[in-house]
A and B are shown apart, each in its own frame.
Chain A
């Protein structure tokens, strides 16, 4: 057993772009889930699902997506260069002068280069580098490169987690592997408890391109309640309230069109009853989380969203605090315990 922080660091350092979660991340997740779940399996779309068995009457599902944004090889250019296209929403300005791995026949190291300042005009310097003008410099001969890399291979930024002050960690893919860390901590806390509610922990796939994994998982599992754990924006010098939430302020319980009112209310009640610090957020439109598709999967599910503040989202230096992950886990584990013995049919009645 590793600590939740160690587990999170290994997840962030692993490769698992949307649609390619199997490359590394899914394996790490299923090994970890196996320690604390009664049953673990991988479904057709690659979701890793852990089941804590209850009495089979009512069930609650927590999802956190394991996919990360990335790049895909779209062409070759003379001199050992590769063209690419994004998978998910990268800020093109954060890609310049980064080291990458191209996941071909073997991992090929490369650099996303940039025109030198000496031959850049003042006018050019005001504009962002465009992703369509960028390329990965692999330093390989063209022939060798074609042998190792095929069109459609995925590319990830080379980034190992670094630890900052106050138990903060910085790296890629904290969105949303931090959510998986919260699931892991929750299953650690709950695996020895006796509860009549069935709990499904879902490390979902393809959230970054439209929450596809969560859609199929919920369709198959038909939980009474499905809650997405995902990131929201943290406060920074350029992000203020209400868009930004306080780092270390605890989980953010969301309210909005993707969220069942009773789920919101019951989560707030659990937080208050157990003295768990929390924040609130309004999501009047699509939540941009697994809840978007879980709500409308099959015949519909009572969905909820719990998020935790993350700075510099969708860059390779996302920052988050372990404290928020641990508090989020505390909220969901207590939520499960609070649901024990309850008639969810009645509780969710609108």
Chain B
């Protein structure tokens, strides 16, 4: 299954190769051309010579995780965190670098902590990875500072949900791949971008390599509809449909495009919800100010426990996310909206 392959692959910021190769293989028969730019963004064009409206789709290939910073004298590995709340890190299995060297994140046993310690979060600099090496020299043969560290978390389906790492934003990558596979009659450019999680970096340059009338940015976003969270803080509720962005820390989305998106959803009976938070940022930040301004629509699938190894999406949301993407792109291409 494609979503399993995409989420089981590791693609830390700057190391998106595994994900990119899967995407290239999947989309090759369906596009006219594709190339990888200097930073690693994969850009593909379908129906290259078709006149008329030109829509671009963008999703990021990278995921949150860790980066090896140092190997200490006894062979324990210290790390930086890329977009991860340090509180989720203790007692996890991780994979380091291309060879997926297995390690665990260790912590002092509860028996040796004083009661005060047990109530405090462990900061990243107190944590380390144990690969079982007995010395610095041994560890250095397998791991180098700068190597990426990914969570070991396999795709699982349960109840109405799917659990995996990196659903933010492999769900978006999936939607674009499915779009390319469908028989779309207009010109369409796909951007699979790098380094979103470390400051929206890849899309700074993808935005200037494309020249579209409209960009549809596809994301995984927050669903905080869990037990201890107040209703007004939920941002999105799983099962209520894909989430439409209105505003976040990096962009205000153009009202008439939001209205066009909801019009398509209503017409096709696809459920949707508005993203009820100003927090976070997306690649829309770079697209909407490129080339003297490009309209951007933001659509996302709500993820519980986002930025953790165990993020969850609702299968129905994922299905409706794919459906709404397709219907919207067709409606736009055919001039039915806007």
Q: Which chain B residues border A221 with CB–CB below 8 Å?
A: none
Are A135 and B119 in touch, CB under 8 angstroms? no
The answer to the question of B186 belonging to the interface, with a C-beta cut-off of 8 Å to chain A, is: no
Closest B-chain residue to A81, C-beta based?
B227
Are A312 and B121 in touch, CB under 8 angstroms? no
Given A113-B226, A137-B312, verify A237-B87 contact (CB < 8 Å).
no
A82 to B317, CA, bound (A): 23
The answer to the question of B194 belonging to the interface, with a C-beta cut-off of 8 Å to chain A, is: no
Given A113-B305, A135-B228, A162-B102, verify A312-B107 contact (CB < 8 Å).
yes
Interface range on chain A (Cβ under 8 Å from partner):
35 or more
The answer to the question of A49 belonging to the interface, with a C-beta cut-off of 8 Å to chain B, is: no
Are B108 and A238 in touch, CB under 8 angstroms? yes
Closest A-chain residue to B315, C-beta based?
A139
The answer to the question of A210 belonging to the interface, with a C-beta cut-off of 8 Å to chain B, is: no
Interface range on chain B (Cβ under 8 Å from partner):
35 or more
Are A79 and B224 in touch, CB under 8 angstroms? no
Binding stretch for chain A, among B13-21, B40-48, B122-130, B171-179: B122-130
Closest A-chain residue to B83, C-beta based?
A117
Interface residue from A96, A166, A239 paired with B108 (Cβ < 8 Å): A239
Interface residue from B92, B106, B121 paired with A311 (Cβ < 8 Å): B106
Interface residue from B76, B107, B227, B280 paired with A135 (Cβ < 8 Å): B227
B82-120 Cβ-contact flags toward A at 8 Å (1 or 0): 001111101111000000001111111111110000111
Identify whether the interface residues of B are mostly helix, strand, loop, or mixed. loop
Q: Which chain A residues border B310 with CB–CB below 8 Å?
A: 97-99, 111, 113
The answer to the question of A127 belonging to the interface, with a C-beta cut-off of 8 Å to chain B, is: yes
Binding stretch for chain B, among A34-42, A118-126, A339-347: A118-126
How many Å from the CB of B161 to the closest CB on chain A?
A: 4
Interface residue from B133, B153, B226 paired with A81 (Cβ < 8 Å): B226
Q: Which chain B residues border A147 with CB–CB below 8 Å?
A: none
Are B119 and A114 in touch, CB under 8 angstroms? no
**Residues of A307-345 contacting chain B, CB below 8 A:** 311-317, 319
How many Å from the CB of B195 to the closest CB on chain A?
A: 19
Are A97 and B103 in touch, CB under 8 angstroms? no
A127 to B122, CA, bound (A): 8
A93 to B156, CA, bound (A): 24
A260 to B309, CA, bound (A): 48
How many Å from the CB of A113 to the closest CB on chain B?
A: 5
A128 to B88, CA, bound (A): 10
Are B85 and A236 in touch, CB under 8 angstroms? no
The answer to the question of A192 belonging to the interface, with a C-beta cut-off of 8 Å to chain B, is: no
Are A138 and B92 in touch, CB under 8 angstroms? no
Interface residue from B109, B119, B228 paired with A115 (Cβ < 8 Å): B228
A92 to B119, CA, bound (A): 9
Are B134 and A116 in touch, CB under 8 angstroms? no
A317 to B131, CA, bound (A): 11
A288 to B133, CA, bound (A): 29
A238-260 Cβ-contact flags toward B at 8 Å (1 or 0): 11000100001000000000000
Q: Which chain B residues border A138 with CB–CB below 8 Å?
A: 158-159
How many Å from the CB of A314 to the closest CB on chain B?
A: 5
Q: Which chain B residues border A111 with CB–CB below 8 Å?
A: 163, 305, 310, 312
Interface residue from A94, A118, A127, A248 paired with B107 (Cβ < 8 Å): A94
Q: Give the A-binding residues of B (Cβ under 8 A).
A: 72, 74, 76, 84-88, 90-93, 102-113, 118-122, 126, 128, 130-134, 138, 142, 152-153, 156, 158-161, 163, 222, 224-229, 233, 235, 277, 279-280, 304-310, 312
16 pairs, A vs B, C-beta closer than 8 Å: A79-B226, A91-B90, A91-B91, A91-B109, A98-B91, A99-B156, A118-B279, A128-B118, A128-B120, A129-B87, A164-B103, A236-B108, A237-B72, A237-B76, A314-B109, A317-B106
